Amino acid sequence: MLSIDQICKIYPNGTHALERIALDVDAGEIVALVGGSGCGKTTLLRMISGLERPTRGTVSLDGDAITTPHPAVGMVFQEARLLPWLSVAENISFGLDHLPKSERDQRVDEALLRVGLSGYGKRWPRELSGGQAQRVSIVRALVAQPKALLLDEPFSALDALTRASLQDHLLGLWDAHRPTMVLVTHDVEEAVLLADRAIVLQPRPGRIFADITIELPRPRDRLSPEFADAKRQVMQALDGSLSQPAPGKSGTATQPAAGGSY
């Protein structure tokens, strides 16, 4: 289990980024963080990854405190961030030197096959399209089979068709080993498509406004009435998070959006 216990973040310049964030994410669960600008989504993700430390509170994975980058936690950024001097296969297997070469090669081949890039292992990052590079970035994070995978708006720079395709690829990759996933997104449809729960954050300082369970079977039909209803629930909570006054010390809204599970 990923446990976030009463996280608070205040920067040296006085910016109060997060206040009393408390959240448990079960093993294999997918959680989406949504919210307006300044609500601390990326700051929270960076603290879960160990790239940043909270002012108060703790983050732990299966009881192991996360205070620095952790080998059991993978991260996918907005940009692919592939190493240009390494081939696609070498980028994916980077960090797997502890495994026998045969196993590394097998993992790379299987990963490329899963995202429709079989035979691309010898290519250079500069030879890939934006969507292809991001696919490589995702499989690079997953090939180490982390317990938790964090994604910071990984599809935001892509066109709608490529984004939809990669969302489906991501779910296919997740299904193989079921890591815990925490996704930052501004796209409500993406949150409903991918996540088991949508956590709506309220800004200044960032705090949890609503925790919405998305009870839709997978694969999810973007055009179904049930999907539209779930989107509406998240949108209502998002609108409420931007219009309601700051909550009390509990850090939760007094009037949650209709239809959500909080």
- Centre a 10 Å sphere on the Cβ of residue 121 and count the other Cβ atoms it contains: 19
pLDDT of residue 244: 67
Is residue 64 in a domain?
A: yes
Is residue 134 in a domain?
A: no
Is residue 143 in a domain?
A: no
pLDDT of residue 257: 36
Is residue 132 in a domain?
A: no
Is residue 62 in a domain?
A: yes
8-14 contacts, C-beta under 8 A, 24 or more apart: 8/54, 8/55, 8/56, 8/57, 9/40, 9/43, 9/47, 9/52, 9/54, 9/55, 10/55
Which domain range does residue 32 map to?
Answer: 2-80+150-243
pLDDT of residue 246: 53
Question: Bridge partners of 65?
Answer: 60
CATH number of the domain to which 76 belongs: 3.40.50.300
Is residue 170 in a domain?
A: yes
Q: Which tens digits make up the pLDDT trace of 171-202?
A: 988 988 899 999 999 899 999 999 999 999 99
pLDDT of residue 144: 86
Is residue 199 in a domain?
A: yes
- Tally the domains of the chain: 1
Q: What parts of the chain have a pLDDT lower than 70? A: 244-262
Contacts of 171 (CB under 8 A, 6+ apart): 194, 218, 219
What is the maximum span of the chain, computed from C-alpha positions, in angstroms?
58
The pair of three-digit structure tokens given for residue 38, joined into one six-digit string: 């300044």
Is residue 93 in a domain?
A: no
Count of positions (residues) in the chain: 262
